[in-house]
Structure 1
Amino acid sequence: MTGSEEPPQFRLAYVPGVTPSKWVRIWNERLPDIPLTLLQLPAPEARDALRDGAADAGLVRLPVDRTVFSAIPLYEETTVVVVPKDHVVAAVDEVTREDLADEIVLHPLDDVLDWDRLPGRPALERPATTEDAVELVAAGIGVLIVPQSLARLHHRKDLTYRPVTDAPVSAVALSWREDATTDMVEDFIGIVRGRTVNSTRGRSTDRTAGTQAQPKKQARGASGTGGNGGNGGRRKPPAGKKPQGAKRGKPKRRS
């Protein structure tokens, strides 16, 4: 390595409400010599960071521009309405958009939900951010519909939330620039998909030394195959024993 070369690092952008701690912990266990830097950014800035190369991958909200980015959908969030604890909605388990028809529904400029039509009555002005909208809910000015993770992120003791069963949902995905699918991006994909260290793409590497551990190939039919890590392989049962779930013969008919 020359003095002008920077040491390897992996830069992961993530949007508010997403919690990457589990995947970061696994990365640090598998690749301790490659620091993982977290960049918490608003949704538009996270996409810009991926596009400009300021981040190697990102945990973002869909949709993304598929002509530029690759994306692996991870999960969809429950959509909830945030209300004061003494609000009538707090007395029920869930609501529909029609239940909110008479409410002032705040619509922040950083809203991440794809509405065809916002329920309720609009406020006179749109709050700049979701955090500002939460403050307005606490002041009794209206209610707010957001993904559940954002309701938790901006939690207040005087507010609560309930699911909105027919509202749009927000999907979270791992995304990266399609023309920048590096080995480190592949490593993080493997972690997010639950692959083990020895699976095909779940590599455990020492890139600071320029080496890469390759998975061992084994001849088809060789003994000792298996291990169920990441690829759905099954271990062979011990000789003389039936595997679990094996079909049994029909019982003999009693005379």
Structure 2
Amino acid sequence: MTPSKWVRIWNERLPDVPLTLLAATPVESFGLLREGAADAGLVRLPVDGDDLSAIPLYEETTVVVVPKDHLFAQVEQISASDLADELVLHPLDDTLGWEQPPGRPAMERPETTADAIELVAAGVGVLAVPQSLARLHHRKDLTYRTLNDVPQSRVALSWPAADEAPDLVEEFIGIVRGRTVNSTRGRRAEELKGQKQPRKDQKKPARPGGAKSGGAKSGGAKQGGPKGGAKSGMRTGGKGAAARGKSTKPRRGRG
């Protein structure tokens, strides 16, 4: 599911609360949150500092960006070992947190992912990035393939630190995680607070005179039913003979 779909679902569920998306780099995202310019943000873990809260949402597939005429473009996926002889660009704004990037390192690291994309398009090396960044920097002369056995970027929803996530943040978390509109989290949970919910095993109220029609007289001991029939009539609050405490045994006729 993409951010555009999240916005569509948000507008369907909360038409009275506008949701605006702001494009930002990973570094800019934290600044917008700390400055109060954004209520919440999709960021990449880890989150530095104690002034921001975050909840992990999902892990993103890592891909390698290559020219369309590159050998890798002929397969669906490759492994890190396949990059051993490739010049692999490692921009300064890298989000994968490599301990040791695969392949051969470039003499200088590009400043940004956008700069690295330009180098790949010029035939200088390949680039490993989260799939969303490959889509963001899409070019007609480039393609990407799934890269296995490498770190994956963890995406989280972050907001200014608080004891618990605000209601609207909970709503957005639910949308991103695919919760249904009837989920008991978020705004709906607030609406249901204080409302007494019926138990699944709760019986329907008996009809007036219920004990007479289904209690001691018709379903109880008189017609051969179990002796517990009279007790059942008392539980439903009926006004039959058992509820009044009178015996249901027929009188013995006088000879």
- What TM-score do the two structures reach when normalised by structure 1? 0.70
> Aligned runs of 1:184-223 on 2, under 5 Å?
184-203=168-187, 213-214=191-192, 216-220=195-199, 221-222=201-202
Matched, 1:46 2:25: no
SS across alignment from 2:148? coil
Say if 2:168 and 2:187, in contact at 8 Å, map to a contact too.
Answer: no
C-alpha distance in 1 between matches for 2:68 and 2:191: 55
SS across alignment from 2:79? coil
Say if 2:167 and 2:186, in contact at 8 Å, map to a contact too.
Answer: no
**Which one of 139, 147, 165 corresponds to residue 130 of structure 2?**
147
Percent sequence identity is 69
The structure with the larger Rg is 2
Give the letter aligned to residue 108 of structure 2.
E
Say if 1:30 and 1:204, in contact at 8 Å, map to a contact too.
Answer: no
1:27–1:217 CA distance, 2 compared to 1 (3 A): farther
SS across alignment from 1:29? helix
> Aligned runs of 1:60-209 on 2, under 5 Å?
60-65=43-48, 67-179=50-162, 181-203=165-187
1:174–1:160 CA distance, 2 compared to 1 (3 A): same
1:66–1:156 CA distance, 2 compared to 1 (3 A): same
Structure 2, unaligned runs of 5 or more: 205-255
State the Cα distance separating 1:198 from its structure 2 match.
4.4
CA RMSD of aligned residues (A): 2.5
Q: Would you say how many aligned residue pairs link Structure 1 and Structure 2?
A: 201
- What TM-score do the two structures reach when normalised by structure 2? 0.70
Give the letter aligned to residue 175 of structure 1.
S
Say if 1:85 and 1:159, in contact at 8 Å, map to a contact too.
Answer: yes
Structure 1, unaligned runs of 5 or more: 1-17, 206-211, 225-255
State the Cα distance separating 1:194 from its structure 2 match.
3.4
SS across alignment from 1:200? coil
Say if 1:24 and 1:36, in contact at 8 Å, map to a contact too.
Answer: yes
Q: Which runs of 4+ in 1 moved over 6 A?
A: none
Say if 2:64 and 2:146, in contact at 8 Å, map to a contact too.
Answer: yes
